[in-house]
Structure 1
Amino acid sequence: MRAAIALCLLTACADGSDAPARFLGAYTWQVEDAEFGGFSAMHLSDDGIGVIAVSDRGMILRGRIERQDDAITGVQIDDFAAIRTDLPAGQPSMRDSEGLAVAPDGTTYVSFEGITRVLRLSPDGPATRLPDHPAFADLQANAALEALAIDAQGRLYTMPEKSGGLDLPFPVWRFDGTGWQTAFHITRDPGFLLVGADFGPDGRLYVLERGFNGIGFRSRVRRFDMPSSGTRTGEVMFAAPVWRHDNLEGISVWRDEQDRTRLSMISDDNFFRLQRTEIVEYVIENPLQ
């Protein structure tokens, strides 16, 4: 037992300084509202100020991030309400929103567990359900469409939290406007599950992964060029050890005024008092890397 604890402490001290992305800062976000928390996905505007987040209780938050130099100093909430889904009222267990993607025209899409599906939200009525891929029906109940992203052409991509086996790669499904196709696969590390994704300003796909060893969370981000098919391993942008951050689940990638690529992530506190809602940021100094 002592050896295991020592190993965990040693792992927690590793800084991953040889990775392309370096830690910039973290902000603990606290709001006195029983529905606040459980955030599983986040989108930031191109300037890193506007924020949209969804929770695993089917809530959507819109607001503005306040910054001083490289530090987040606060978040102003403009709206916080339940997502108007395609389901009747009274089914909270089926409102488990996990992924978020916002198109250039502002159209917002959300992916769900519980009932596995992707919705196009409407500003003035219930959401519209996109067609399903046949594989959606076979996904594990609490490990379904965890990640959702949209590219510069407006094509949606979604990925499950689990691939169905430790040695099986994650499928990446792409929606072409009428249906989903398997675009490619990404390798699975037995120590991590896939929890978030976003396209960066460089056109590449950034995937957030989470590991849990029973005592704490660890996180990493991999970056992928967009292949036409096959299975890809990608490039590790950073790997944070156990206890460095909370349960990071959502990622948004944008370029700041210094022409640096920022990886902004939000944690899901599971509405558990020993966890916290945290916005964490890493930066890639050279956007051409």
Structure 2
Amino acid sequence: MLDRRRSALIGVAIAFLTGTAPAHADAVLDHVGTYVWERDEAPFGGFSGIEIAPDGASFHALTDRSHLYWGSVQRDDLGIVRGMTVAGRAHLKDSSGNPLPPGYTGDSEGLAVGADGRIHVSFEGLDRVVTYDDPDTAGAPLPRPPQVPGMGQNAGLEALAIRDDGTLIAVPERSANETIPFTALAFDGAWTQLARIRRDPRWRAVGADFGPDGWFYLLERDFRGVLGFTSRVRRMRLTADGVQDDEILLETRPLQYDNLEGISVWHDGTDIRVTLISDDNFIFLQRTEIVEYRLRQTQAQALRN
């Protein structure tokens, strides 16, 4: 009994120190590396979305002021990010070809890049999703999504992901209250309410992606005041019968990272990797971080298999 208790306490301590999920979870995320991305230009910062290419060598990154960056990722022999080279930047435009201003109409939050290369961006404030065949051309707004309880000017369509079949999934930042589930909206020619995702008190949805394993990964954030931000990553299956196999993979400590808002899930040739990006809110005390984790199957899942 004492040995079991000691092992349990050690497991809890390791989870606290590393920010990983408890050892009984089916899978956990192991930290790979953190890179602080800096660039001396006014539009740089406020990143709310990121997409890493399937080979891990290139990226798209979205700011919350309608600027989209793209380029290449430099990695060392261990696959750890050592640099981000910008190949281009575009100021996203409205359907008339006018650059979007910051604020109500230009608060870009969610990013999803389809297999066809088209770029999809969700906005809060004026809640909508816009598709770009090219980031330098006018946007093509989708039909306006339905308003669901909890959506507001600073709590709109924060998280956006795209399935292999091209269906877009959008999740508002919050629900009607902390005990009412998030509403996941789906667009496949028309908007529908796809699923209701459990919401735990304090946590808000800020990013989403579908992994190469078909699971839906949700990034959530909690602001702890002077203690800064905490983040967690969940994965689940979105099925016709609703949400299944919902589990927490990662919960970070206060001040462990900055304000993580974007998530990209991809395969590095060996394992599934999760890349996160932080929003520095254009405040000099904060920073833009690229944080990467690798998915590890736990013994609990191995025993099931």
Q: Where does the alignment leave 5 or more consecutive residues of structure 2 unmatched?
A: 1-14
Deviation string 1:26-54 (CA, Å, 9 cap, x unpaired) is 00001011110000000010011110011
Whether the aligned pair in 1 keeps the contact of 2:236 and 2:243 (CA below 8 Å) is no
2: distance between equivalents of 1:244 and 1:79?
31
2: distance between equivalents of 1:89 and 1:44?
25
1:63-212 map, 5 Å: 63-68=71-76, 69-86=78-95, 88-89=98-99, 91-93=101-103, 94-123=105-134, 125-135=137-147, 139-176=151-188, 178-212=189-223
AA matched with 2:121: V
Query: In structure 2, the residue corresponding to 1:238 is in which secondary structure?
Result: strand
Query: In structure 1, the residue corresponding to 2:115 is in which secondary structure?
Result: coil
After TM superposition, the score normalised by the length of structure 2 is 0.85
Distance 1:151 1:231, change over 3 A: closer
2:31 is aligned with 1:23: yes
* Amino-acid identity (%): 40
Aligned to 2:44: 36
Q: Which protein has the larger Cα radius of gyration, Structure 1 or Structure 2?
A: 2
Distance 1:189 1:175, change over 3 A: same
RMSD of Structure 2 on Structure 1 (CA): 2.1
2:70 is aligned with 1:62: yes
1:245-260 map, 5 Å: 245-257=257-269, 259-260=270-271
AA matched with 1:130: L
Distance 1:131 1:282, change over 3 A: same
After TM superposition, the score normalised by the length of structure 1 is 0.90
Query: In structure 2, the residue corresponding to 1:109 is in which secondary structure?
Result: strand
Aligned to 1:271: 282
How far residue 13 of structure 1 moved from its aligned partner, in angstroms, is 4.5
Higher mean alpha-carbon deviation, 51-60 vs 120-129, is at 120-129
Distance 1:136 1:62, change over 3 A: farther
Whether the aligned pair in 1 keeps the contact of 2:66 and 2:100 (CA below 8 Å) is no
AA matched with 1:16: T
The number of residues matched between the two structures is 277
Query: In structure 2, the residue corresponding to 1:34 is in which secondary structure?
Result: coil
2: distance between equivalents of 1:136 and 1:49?
37
How far residue 81 of structure 1 moved from its aligned partner, in angstroms, is 2.1
2:242 is aligned with 1:234: no
AA matched with 2:95: D
Q: Where does the alignment leave 5 or more consecutive residues of structure 1 unmatched?
A: 1-10
Query: In structure 2, the residue corresponding to 1:126 is in which secondary structure?
Result: coil
Deviation string 1:177-201 (CA, Å, 9 cap, x unpaired) is x211111111111121100000000
1: distance between equivalents of 2:179 and 2:297?
34
Deviation string 1:44-97 (CA, Å, 9 cap, x unpaired) is 100111100110111000111100023211010000121122364574322111
How far residue 137 of structure 1 moved from its aligned partner, in angstroms, is 9.6
AA matched with 2:133: S
How far residue 136 of structure 1 moved from its aligned partner, in angstroms, is 5.9
1: distance between equivalents of 2:239 and 2:112?
21
2: distance between equivalents of 1:90 and 1:157?
23
AA matched with 1:49: A
AA matched with 1:36: F
2:59 is aligned with 1:47: no
Whether the aligned pair in 2 keeps the contact of 1:116 and 1:137 (CA below 8 Å) is no
Whether the aligned pair in 1 keeps the contact of 2:178 and 2:200 (CA below 8 Å) is yes
Whether the aligned pair in 2 keeps the contact of 1:183 and 1:229 (CA below 8 Å) is no
Query: In structure 2, the residue corresponding to 1:28 is in which secondary structure?
Result: strand
